[in-house]
Structure 1
Amino acid sequence: MLRTLKELFGALAEPLPAGQPADAEHRLQLATAVLLVEVMRADDETGEAEREAILAALRTQFDLHADELERLYDLAHAASRDAPDLYSFTSQLNKGYSAAEKARIVEYLWRVAYADGRLSHYENHLMLKLGDLLYIPRGDFVAAKQRARAAAGLAPD
């Protein structure tokens, strides 16, 4: 498994080949999934609600079957544990997504943060960091946060 993860991180660092759209899509899927898992792991209180929020986000964002979602989640969890930083993942999203698509990803990240009904200061800190790494304008960042709070049934800040 270690060799596989080393290959994965090496592949994420390489430039995208021109004729490989499937590889580019897989990189975006994995990078997105890893960031979702990172938010889940931010406060050391991982629960089923957060896991379900991740799977719902991946299901909405990508056209994947249930078994593919589970494999992606498992791979993202392993990659998240072994990742030296978040840059390799956020840079993939910056290369592969438009500003509007990245704002939608940020909303999914907020939904994971709010899945347990509260936002820890660790989750908030990570979200601020991810918003900066993804170059999300502050207004779009706050709007995504408010939509996620409303989706979780929480009152606005």
Structure 2
Amino acid sequence: MLKSVFIAIKKQFAVADEEHGGNHENALRLATAALLVEMGRADHYSDGDEAALILELLRDHFVMESEDVGALYEFATEKADQVVSLHELTSLLHRSLDEEERGRLLEMMWRVAYADKRLDPLEDSLVRKVADLLYVRNTSLMKIRERVMSAIDQ
């Protein structure tokens, strides 16, 4: 039963090229989730806090039911396993998101990076690479980081 539900949701989130009738919104969700999964893996350490935070961020950002978020997370994990280049994930996001939305994505990435209360150099490198691919200026990225750090300190 659960497998058939997962397969159905996996099909729902299947990424197809926009010109070939793919569901654009689901492709954006998948790309966002896969980047967050990559961020969670960047420091090669996971105690479950990062995964729980990613699920929470996805649920709140996309206003989804927990079951749907779980399926998206599983599919995003598969997608992240298959990705050869970050460009595969960021190109659609760059074309589709405005500056504010790209900032929200980077804010979610910083939150995942700081889930364990420390920033690993690999996490820092990943979020900077993604920001570059999304054409977000370094000054904007640092403001977003400071905002996240301030929220953590409170």
Residue deviations 1:16-57 (CA, integer Å, cap 9, x gap) = 46x76xx11000000000000001100110122111221122
Which SS does the other structure have where 1:152 is aligned?
helix
CA RMSD in angstroms comes to 2.1
Higher relative contact order (CA 8 A, sep 6+): 1
Per the normalisation by structure 1, the TM-score is 0.84
Q: Shift of residue 153 of structure 1?
A: 2.2
Per the normalisation by structure 2, the TM-score is 0.85
Residue deviations 1:44-85 (CA, integer Å, cap 9, x gap) = 101221112211221221021000000000111111111111
Identical positions, percent: 34
Aligned residues: 144
CA contact (8 A) 2:33 2:73 kept: yes
Q: Which runs of 4+ in 1 moved over 4 A?
A: none
CA contact (8 A) 1:33 1:72 kept: yes
What is aligned with 1:95? Answer: 95
Aligned pairs (5 A) from 1:3-82: 8=14, 11=16, 14-16=17-19, 23-82=23-82
For 1:37 and 1:24, the matched residues in 2 are separated by 20
> Which sections of structure 1, spanning at least 5 residues, go unmatched?
none
CA contact (8 A) 2:31 2:93 kept: yes
CA contact (8 A) 1:38 1:80 kept: yes
> Which sections of structure 2, spanning at least 5 residues, go unmatched?
1-6
